Amino acid sequence: MILRDWQNKAYASWVKNDCKGCVQAGTGSGKSFLFLKVIEDNPDKGIVIVVNTQQLMYQHAELIKRELGVSVGLAGDGHKEFNSRVLVGVVNTLRDISLAGYKVLCCDEAHHYFSECNKLVLEECFEKVLLLSATIHCQDEREEKFLEQYPIVFNYSQCDCIQDGVINNYELINVKVELDEDSRKAYELLDEFIKTSFRQYGFSLARVQASIRYDRLAGRLMSSISKRKMLLNNAPDRLNKTVDIV
């Protein structure tokens, strides 16, 4: 497995820390290839890769098959293929089953695993644990303890990615999108509810996610955030604005 210079350094730092820890690297830097290196270097061990969405599950499975030619089992979106040495699964599915047969744990988008319900995956006994994320932030005591157990062993920022030519430079542009009257009213109601409710959790999304199982307000808040985002994504004017920018 041929890795970029930063990936080799990150992997070496993880190995040096007894193969337990988190690599924080910018979006688009190629973090996922570290999972391939783990699979390649552990041919006799069961490996589970945890993701937070079905889309990522399929993306990782396809990458592994294409680059390594390794058979991959899936867990999520109706799949329950637990007989493969390499398993890629969605956390919502994996947190409710035993992963005792696997010795190596890899977690993508690791900042999603701070919550009480999702951290159950990490309570299994693994010989090696590699966590990847672009954004790890300690917002409360629970998250600090999490990073004490799995510290950041290597940091490769978005600026580092651009400076090294790993990703292209880019510009963020905020553009106003017009909504029809009904959508605008719905957006304003959702926005007001989100602002008011979010304050109760210290404006910490991790705290909201950690409370979903036992707090009805947290569930409503997450649902409202998704609905507000969907209103913008479905705005008829959105595509025209995108074309204008390009």
Question: Going residue by residue through the chain (246 aa), what tens digit of pLDDT does each one get?
Answer: 889 999 999 999 999 999 999 999 988 999 999 999 999 999 999 999 999 889 999 999 999 999 999 999 999 999 999 889 999 999 888 887 888 889 999 999 887 776 665 665 666 789 999 999 987 765 556 667 777 888 899 999 989 999 999 988 888 888 888 889 999 999 999 999 999 999 998 887 767 877 777 788 988 998 999 899 889 888 888 878 777 877
What are 144's two structure tokens? Answer: 């600090």
- Contact between 161 and 29 (Cβ < 8 Å): yes
Torsion of CA 164, 173, 30, 143, to 10 degrees: 110
Distance between CA atoms of 89 and 81, rounded to whole angstroms?
A: 9
**Res 117: pLDDT:** 59
If you count DSSP H runs as helices and E runs as strands, how many of each does the chain have, helices first? 10, 8
Q: Which amino acid is at 88?
A: V
Are the C-beta atoms of residues 154 and 134 closer than 8 Å to each other? no
What tokens were used for 54?
Answer: 């079905």
Q: Which two tokens stand for residue 203?
A: 């404006």
What pLDDT was estimated at residue 176? 84
Asked whether the beta carbons of 129 and 19 are under 8 A apart, the reply is yes
